[in-house]
Amino acid sequence: MVLLAWLASRHTWLVHLPAAAALMVVLPIIAAQRRGRGIRPWWITCRYLAWAGFLGSILAVASGYLAARGRGLPPLGGLWPLPWPPGPLRLHALGGLACLLLGALCLRSLYRGRQDHQGIGFPALVLGLLWGASALATTYAGQYLLGR
């Protein structure tokens, strides 16, 4: 229980890695759109950033859920608190889940089969851009909740 309380109290620290990775992964994905020799290092960069963002998103969502549960926001037996009023708290929670889902989809699109000379692909670009946008919206809602 002490580990879960510690993880919940560090939510504001744990969200920086996935937000930064989601915003930064867009640049190597754009660079990996071209075809030709020497494109493989950009694939590796995209994959490392996507893995860091996805694993960080798992920690951020888990710590956010534990922090909200510690403040009495979700109902005691339920996983998703439906009676939350619309506003920045709901936007923050939905944005965190969207970051997790878009990170997984982006990671999957980065591992599709391709030849060594082909680009990373348009689906990876779209998912990377959506992932970055959801990270920005989630971060903005989190800052609004903190009053900054």
Q: What share of the chain is helix, strand, coil (3-state, %, to 5)?
A: 70, 0, 30
pLDDT score, position 51: 94
How far is residue 60 from each of residues 67, 80, 117, 121, 133, measured CA to CA in Å? 10, 16, 36, 28, 17
The parent domain of residue 62 ranges over 2-146
Judge if pTM exceeds 0.85.
no
Mean pLDDT of 130-139: 90
Please report, for residues 19, 36, 57, the alpha-carbon distance to residue 4 in angstroms, rounded to integers and kept in the order given. 22, 48, 16
Instruction: Provide, rounded to the nearest whole percent, the portion of the chain with pLDDT above 90.
Output: 20
pLDDT in tens, 36-80: 777 778 888 988 999 999 999 998 888 888 787 776 666 544 555
By CB neighbour count within 10 A (0-12 exposed, 13-18 middle, 19+ buried), where does 88 fall?
A: middle
Mean pLDDT, the chain, rounded, equals: 80
Higher-confidence residue of 92 and 134: namely 134
**What is the tally of structural domains in the chain?**
1
pLDDT score of 85: 59
Lowest mean pLDDT among 16-20, 102-106, 143-147: 143-147
